[in-house]
Amino acid sequence: MAFFILPNLVSAHNGSRDELGGHFRNADCVYILHEPTSIARSAANMQELMSLIKQYNSNQDCKASLNEAKVDLEGHSFPAEGSTPSESTPASSDSPKAAASTGNLQLGKTYDAKLIECTDGDTAVFTINGKAYKSRFLYIDTPESTRTKEPFGLEAAQYTCSFLKKGNITLETDGGSLFDKYDRLLAWVWVGDKLHQEEITKAGLVEDFYDYGSYKYENRIWSAMDYAKENGKGIYAATNSPAEQTEQSKEQSEKQEERTKQEQKPKNVGEESQQEKKPENTEEDTDSADQQRESGQESNQVETVDEEWDCSLLSGLLFALLFYLTIPLKKAMGKRTLIAHRMWSKKWPLNLFLSVIYAFICYITMLLLLLEILHLFKNKKSKRK
């Protein structure tokens, strides 16, 4: 029962927001407008907002039952009737400062940020325009260092913390969503003119890529990963760089040459005398080896015989079935069984239970089956006489 209930509980709030800054709650299909974007603010009334929701949101089931009662504005209000959007709200600009001044983040924008807390290699807390955002760095996945301690997790966390303190931080939003399902801001992280995701990947502290969609700088991250693997950085230090591999191969070749030279050196008199004595010892060794082989073959034969007569559960069930079939077989031939009719019941459930017991006592069942078969042939011979 819990298996069918738990998935519904998990998906009741997925946290992925659309281009309006909201999402449907799966439990009751209520649309929650968390942070209205410029698209949502362009709606002059509820009807226009509902049409925008149907246009930009991909939840077809909830859109079909959308009405005014199922829209939670969370404090957002529409401009007065008859007034233009420019009168009620300041006109939005493409510059990052203008976007940040409204207090609402937008996709494809850059924002000045300040570091509050380093969490691990790919997560940190920043403030943008006075508001704190827990941010998940786009595209990269570093080893864990918080709940579970993974190899290179601590190194990745230390690298991120030190890197973020080297200059001014800029967050750049990208992709199809501002936040992930855990309400973390998704962004590229710049420190000065250096992209954090690219630098930590070059250092070999990124183990995988966690895609939320198609992104602006993903080719740069892939190139950084190739660099880390080719040069044996961080996690990939075990796979040595080409320079280290060539050095190791040279060392191995030199050692091999030394071994061959030692083998080709002329042998001294003591070694020659030992070689003369070797034939006698080899004959004795061959005799002992032959004896060991013969004893090994005999033991193998004994083991194979034991394996052939090993009574498994499957063979026990087979003997039990044959033993049960002797009853109808002998009845059809007009014969009476010796003991089989006393060891089976007329009820099928009881017979199934008995068959399992007879399978475990396989050898006894096999013996009783042989007695029934011999009894059948004995009756035939007595009739001929």
Answer whether 13's CB lies under 8 Å from 26's CB: yes
| Domains in the chain with CATH codes | 10-81 (no CATH), 96-237 (2.40.50.90), 313-384 (no CATH)
Q: Compute CA distances 28 → 11, 40, 51, whole Å.
A: 12, 22, 19
Provide the β-strand partners of residue 249: none
Range from 39-48, 58-67, 125-134, 141-150 that averages highest in pLDDT: 125-134
Q: Which residue has the tokens 């690298």?
A: 159
What's the mean pLDDT in 211-216? Answer: 76
**How much of the chain is in helix, strand and coil states, percent to nearest 5?**
50, 15, 35
- DSSP structure string for 341-363: GGS--SSHHHHHHHHHHHHHTHH
Tell me the per-residue pLDDT of 86-108, one tens digit each, with 9 for 90 and over.
333 333 333 344 344 335 899 99
Strands 169-172 and 110-120: antiparallel
pLDDT of residue 193: 96
Q: Does pLDDT of 304 surpass 60?
A: no
Say which range, 155-169, 332-346, 355-369, has the weakest mean pLDDT.
Answer: 332-346
Range from 50-59, 170-179, 315-324 that averages highest in pLDDT: 170-179
Q: Does pLDDT of 332 surpass 60?
A: yes
- 117 Cβ contact list (under 8 Å, min separation 6): 124, 125
Q: Does pLDDT of 33 surpass 80?
A: yes
Tell me the per-residue pLDDT of 58-85, one tens digit each, with 9 for 90 and over.
888 888 889 888 888 877 787 744 443 3
pLDDT of residue 35: 80
Strands 123-128 and 22-25: unpaired
pLDDT of residue 319: 73
Answer whether 152's CB lies under 8 Å from 192's CB: no
Q: Compute CA distances 254 → 50, 244, 249, 257, whole Å.
A: 77, 16, 9, 5
Say which range, 150-154, 236-240, 329-333, has the weakest mean pLDDT.
Answer: 236-240
Range from 209-213, 215-219, 290-294, 377-381 that averages highest in pLDDT: 215-219
22: tokens are 């909201």
Q: Does pLDDT of 211 surpass 70?
A: no
What's the mean pLDDT in 375-381? Answer: 67
% the chain with pLDDT above 90:
29
pLDDT of residue 85: 39
What's the mean pLDDT in 40-60? Answer: 86
